[in-house]
Amino acid sequence: MALLEIRNIVRRFGDFTAVDGVSMDIEAGEFFTLLGPSGCGKTTLLRMIAGFDSPQSGEMLLDGKDLASIAPEKRPIHTVFQSYALFPHMTVAENIAFPLRMRKLGKGEIGERVRQSLEDVRLTDRGGRYPGELSGGQRQRVALARALVNRPRLLLLDEPLAALDMKLREQMQLELINLQKEVGITFIYVTHDQTEALALSHRIAVMNGGKVEQLDEPSKIYDSPKNRFVADFIGTCNLIDAEVSVAGEEKMVLQIRGLGEVAARNPGATGGAKGILALRPEKVRIAAQLAPEDDENHFKGRVHDFLYMGDVTVYIVEVGDGVHVEALLPNSAAGRPRILAVGDPVEIAWRYDAGTFLDG
């Protein structure tokens, strides 16, 4: 039995359906992420799990028990808020002691657990400070410590790193992964940042318009997006209109207007189906000249434009009759004489299974 079972949850605000029949199982010990653009319903879903909001229909079972019958303050679920929501009139130690005091634990035990908790988040010398005197990263750690000190069954994190700058965010991501491993508590993490989701999670539910578009491991989400939305939302992706001309067992041939025939992996489409070819730029090889290889699509074209990013260069290559394909070239690529210029003739190639055909 899953730790948290979510069954057909629906939440409407007037005419707007924020969460539209979402079901998912979250396993104990998992780092689970709800990923999606703003307004996709991920925060609403999180608030319903915490108990700040109630669904119009559907149910949520924690350890098999219906959450609807448990008041928010009685649920063994704690939340790390986006704004941290630390109590400004309490010291760091008092903030962390708060959930313990609500449970009416003894003074000695509270003191001991607060001390231990401060140690866990490396803030031992900050216990007497007020939240206003801490840096963003420190506040973040206090919020984590406060939410974890009670050992909840489930920890909800609502975009907890959104307010931090990029360097600190990367560092906090590593800390979060380690912390989750250490405490073994199930995390449900809400974010709109796809790199964060890919880096942190065991599993990701990509949400859009109140529905789950795809629920899978990070690598599956990235490599085999189920539909156009997921392919487009996660990372960058070439999305090229295509029509299935020959559908084989595992391989298929697509007809692309202005480019001709392209081989791709067949996820189960039938001949004549219309859709798109999703192709990650980093899976496209690019060079002035490329030796053809087996199972590859090979095209000649011209550099239409490029973006120098430091570590990589993104080339937009025009192939065939006005079809643009993005390709990524690491700037460390050995034997590369120079950066290709706009208008240079180039060749691009990709293995047939690098591209996925998506219906619709």
Partner 1 sequence: MAKHLGKWLISGPPVLYLIVFFVIPTCIMVLASFRYAGEYGGLAPVLLHDASGAHLNLTLESYQEFFSDFIYSWLFIKTLVYALVTTFCCLLMAYPLALLIARSASKYRDLLVLLVILPFWSNFLIRIYAWMILLGPQSAFSAALNGFLGIFGVGPVRLLFTPFAVVLCLIYVQLPFMVLPLYANLEKHDPALLDAAQDLGANAWQRFWRVTFPLSLPGIYAGVALVFVPVLGIFAVPDILGGTRGIMIGNLIKQEFLEARDWPFGSALSIMLTIGAMIIVGGAALFAGRRRSGDV
- Site of interaction with partner 1 (CB under 8 A): 50-52, 72-74, 77-79, 81, 83, 85-89, 91, 98-99, 102-103, 130, 146-147, 150
Residue 41's SS3 state is: coil
CA distance 360 to 355: 16
Nearer to partner 1, 25 or 53 (CB): 53
- For residue 9, the minimal CB distance to partner 1 (Å) is 19
- For residue 142, the minimal CB distance to partner 1 (Å) is 12
Residue 283's SS3 state is: helix
H or E segment and range at residue 182: helix 166-183
Q: Is 242 within 8 Å of 231 (Cβ atoms)?
A: no
- For residue 138, the minimal CB distance to partner 1 (Å) is 17
For residue 150 the two structure tokens come to 């009670």
Nearer to partner 1, 111 or 209 (CB): 111
- For residue 99, the minimal CB distance to partner 1 (Å) is 4
- For residue 331, the minimal CB distance to partner 1 (Å) is 44
CA distance 19 to 21: 6
CA distance 257 to 28: 48
Nearer to partner 1, 20 or 94 (CB): 94
For residue 168 the two structure tokens come to 């600190």
Nearer to partner 1, 82 or 255 (CB): 82
- The single-letter DSSP state of residue 340 is P
Residue 27's SS3 state is: coil
Nearer to partner 1, 160 or 225 (CB): 160
